[in-house]
Structure 1
């Protein structure tokens, strides 16, 4: 897997990451969603540099200009519900992409820290031989992304896969690396070293879905 740790370099990205982590700022759900969206835009811009391009002539009122434009058939797939603001950020830049949505959640059958990933819903166009962007803001254990990939594989084989995440754990990144094709790309804003015994990233930011859309039952 090709790992692109964008937050390693100093940029405005780190301002948005700091605000979604900050307990005083993240309580503003509108600002939280917008910051996730802006992080998606930045990661999408960086990702775009890795796509395929060809020369196209564009006609202006005064002549023609040859520009290098991407010709990838992009399908943008987000994991519900936390992935929606990240999805919007990517869609702001890949506005001609096709869209897909998939659900994945942790199920604790014994009411303890042990869990399994349940995937129940998938709505998507054909992904066969297309460029698949998988958006999930929190890459904790990596099990959700692996389960999603296994479900999506039943519907076709993408030409290439780009995973877009906001914050991940070192353990989760390694798990995804071992469970996706070798030529997969991971675009991530921040990586934290610790994953606690409940499978949450530390220091992380908390529950991205709850911060964006409110607490769930």
Structure 2
């Protein structure tokens, strides 16, 4: 798997990540959502450099111009509910993309330290031969991303697969590397070192879904 860690180079993305992590700033849920969205835009821009392009002739009021334009059939799939802001950010850049949505959550059977990933709702177009962009802002253990992809398999085999996250843990990145093909691309804004006993990223930023949309009742 090709890992593109944007934190390896300084950019304005650092500011958005810092605000998302900051316990004082993240109290503003509207700003938190917008920062996730802006991170999605930047990750989408970097991802776009690897797409297929073809030359097109554009008619202007004064003549014609040649532009290289993307030539991929893109499907954006986000994991509900935390994935909505990053989905919007990607959709801001990939105007003509088709869209898929899937729910995946941790179900704690017996204690807070053990869980399974439950997938319930799924809406998806045909994926055969298309470019799949699978987005989830937090990449902790990696189990949600893998479970989501397994649920998408009946809809066809994508030509290309791009995984997009804002903050991840090394363990989650390693887990994805074992479950996705070598030509899969992971685009991520920052990778942290540690997962705690409950499988949350440290230092991370907390629960992205709760910060964006309010606390939820536990199953």
Which bracket does the TM-score occupy, shorter chain normalised? Answer: over 0.9
Are 1:200 and 2:200 counterparts?
Answer: yes
Q: Which moved more, 1:163-172 or 1:147-156?
A: 147-156
The whole-number CA distance in structure 1 between the counterparts of 2:7 and 2:95 is: 24
**Aligned counterpart, 2:164:** 164
**Aligned counterpart, 2:154:** 154
**Aligned counterpart, 1:42:** 42
How far did residue 111 of structure 1 move?
A: 3.1
**Aligned counterpart, 1:119:** 119
The answer on whether the counterparts of 2:75 and 2:99 sit within 8 Å (CA) in structure 1 is yes
Post-superposition Cα deviations, 1:146-200, rounded to whole Å, max 9, x if no partner, equal: 1111111122100110001000000000001110121100000000000111000
**Aligned counterpart, 2:177:** 177
Q: Which runs of 4+ in 1 moved over 6 A?
A: none
**Aligned counterpart, 2:132:** 132
Q: How many residues align?
A: 217
Which secondary structure does the structure 2 equivalent of 1:103 belong to? strand
Post-superposition Cα deviations, 1:56-80, rounded to whole Å, max 9, x if no partner, equal: 0000011111100001000000000
Gaps of 5+ in 2: none
How far did residue 8 of structure 1 move?
A: 1.1
The whole-number CA distance in structure 2 between the counterparts of 1:61 and 1:8 is: 43
Which secondary structure does the structure 2 equivalent of 1:10 belong to? coil
The whole-number CA distance in structure 1 between the counterparts of 2:101 and 2:209 is: 15
**Aligned counterpart, 1:110:** 110
RMSD: 0.6
The whole-number CA distance in structure 1 between the counterparts of 2:11 and 2:155 is: 38
The whole-number CA distance in structure 2 between the counterparts of 1:114 and 1:63 is: 64
Q: TM-score when scaled to structure 2? A: 0.98
Matches within 5 A, 1:13-28: 13-28=13-28
How far did residue 43 of structure 1 move?
A: 0.4
Q: TM-score when scaled to structure 1? A: 0.99
Gaps of 5+ in 1: none
**Aligned counterpart, 1:68:** 68
Which secondary structure does the structure 2 equivalent of 1:121 belong to? strand
How far did residue 96 of structure 1 move?
A: 0.8
The answer on whether the counterparts of 2:125 and 2:155 sit within 8 Å (CA) in structure 1 is no
